[in-house]
């Protein structure tokens, strides 16, 4: 490459420009006069200005390129962050869908349980209404929809299995105030009040419900209850939860306790040697209420036990469980 070398000669107002080629050849000198000097000086300044400008432009271009790379990197970082966020959102959406599914399942289990309870409660209420309203003959053959007629005890067994179903259907502890818990409590109270508990320790009975030859009257008369074996002083238990509606002397019954269990049920405990409860007192199922005796029209110590529905004597063996 060739180079250019300029030299301003102060002498004689000339500008001498020497041309020195790198290869072998003669040195050429161009002699420029004063006018040309001014022109060339101007041109040189312009050239310098152009170079500076070009340099500046190039630096700006370089800077832009760097910024562009930096922006691209930032954009890539943002895009990757966006991808991660989208993945997270997708994961959460999936979890939400799964939770929704679990909730739906739980709700359907709940609904099934509630429907079952409603259905059983309705059947049970129907049964109780039938017990109260219809003749004794029909007791134990209450129709239960499309099912075969069932006995009272079968119904009680069914009620108990329903309660255990309800217990197993309990979904979580924060659910205790739910309808299920309330209905479970209702059903338990209902079952608890039913006179199903055998009222003495002995399971021996010697005079059943119905017509019989009366040992004192010496003729056939209706026996309204069931006589149960027991020694004087043996404990007598409440057959179901309820309220003591009578406690005292009651003619031929001697010392007698009557418990009102609600839903039309009452139980009688007669010939007691001692009464351990007071009228108006609430008693729980199996609670000790008195002692076996032979007071009133009685020849020996035993418990005369009656179950009355709407004040009509019924066979205690239909209810109590040995």
Contacts with Zn ion, residue ranges (CB under 5 A): 227, 304
Residue closer to Zn ion (CB basis): 227 or 315: 227
Residue closer to Zn ion (CB basis): 263 or 316: 316
Q: How many CA atoms lie within 13 A of 126 on its CB side?
A: 14
Closest distance between Zn ion and the C-beta of residue 203, in Å? 16
In the complex, which residue's CB is closest to Zn ion? 304
Residue closer to Zn ion (CB basis): 264 or 296: 296
Q: Which residues contact 236 (CB under 8 A, 6 or more apart)?
A: 199, 200, 230, 257, 269, 272, 288, 289, 290, 291, 292, 303
Residue closer to Zn ion (CB basis): 184 or 227: 227
Closest distance between Zn ion and the C-beta of residue 305, in Å? 8
CA 194 centroid distance within chain: 30
The dihedral through the CA atoms of 150, 153, 158, 162 has a sign that is positive
Closest distance between Zn ion and the C-beta of residue 223, in Å? 6
DSSP for 181-201, please give it. HHHHHHHHHHHHHSS-B-SSS
Closest distance between Zn ion and the C-beta of residue 133, in Å? 27
Please name the residue that has the structure tokens 């338990």: 188
Task: Assess contact for 247 and 277: CB atoms under 8 A.
Answer: yes
Closest distance between Zn ion and the C-beta of residue 302, in Å? 7
Closest distance between Zn ion and the C-beta of residue 152, in Å? 21
- Cβ atoms within 10 Å, residue 81: 10
Residue closer to Zn ion (CB basis): 248 or 252: 252
Beta-bridge partners for 5: 18
Residue closer to Zn ion (CB basis): 207 or 281: 207
Instruction: Tell which phi-psi region holds residue 310, choosing left (phi > 0), alpha (psi between -120 and 50) or beta.
Output: left
């Amino acid at each position: 490459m060739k180079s250019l070398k300029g030299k301003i000669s102060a002498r004689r107002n000339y500008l001498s420009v020497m041309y020195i080629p790198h290869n072998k050849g003669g040195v050429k000198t161009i002699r420029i006069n004063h006018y040309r000097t001014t022109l060339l000086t101007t041109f040189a300044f312009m050239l310098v200005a152009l170079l500076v400008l070009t340099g500046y432009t190039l630096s700006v271009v370089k800077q832009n390129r760097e910024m562009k790379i930096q922006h691209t990197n930032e954009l890539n970082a943002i895009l990757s962050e966006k991808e991660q966020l989208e993945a997270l959102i997708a994961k959460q959406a999936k979890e939400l869908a799964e939770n929704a599914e679990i909730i739906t399942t739980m709700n359907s289990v709940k609904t099934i349980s509630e429907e079952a309870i409603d259905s059983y409660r309705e059947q049970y209420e129907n049964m109780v209404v039938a017990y109260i309203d219809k003749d004794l003959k029909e007791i134990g053959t209450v129709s239960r929809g499309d099912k075969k007629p069932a006995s009272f005890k079968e119904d009680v067994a069914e009620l108990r299995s329903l309660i255990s179903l309800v217990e197993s259907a309990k979904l979580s502890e924060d659910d205790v105030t739910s309808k299920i818990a309330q209905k479970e409590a209702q059903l338990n109270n209902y079952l608890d009040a039913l006179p199903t508990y055998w009222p003495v320790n002995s399971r021996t009975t010697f005079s059943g419900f119905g017509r019989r030859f009366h040992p004192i009257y010496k003729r056939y008369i209706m026996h309204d209850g069931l006589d149960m074996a027991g020694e004087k002083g043996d404990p007598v238990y409440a057959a179901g939860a309820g309220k003591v509606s009578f406690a005292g002397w009651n003619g031929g019954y001697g010392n007698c306790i009557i418990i009102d269990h609600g839903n039309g049920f009452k139980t009688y405990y007669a010939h007691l040697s001692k009464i351990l409860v007071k009228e108006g007192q609430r008693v729980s199922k199996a609670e000790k209420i008195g002692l076996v005796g032979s007071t009133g029209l009685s020849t020996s110590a035993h418990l005369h036990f009656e179950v009355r529905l709407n004040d009509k004597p019924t066979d205690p063996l239909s209810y109590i469980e040995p």
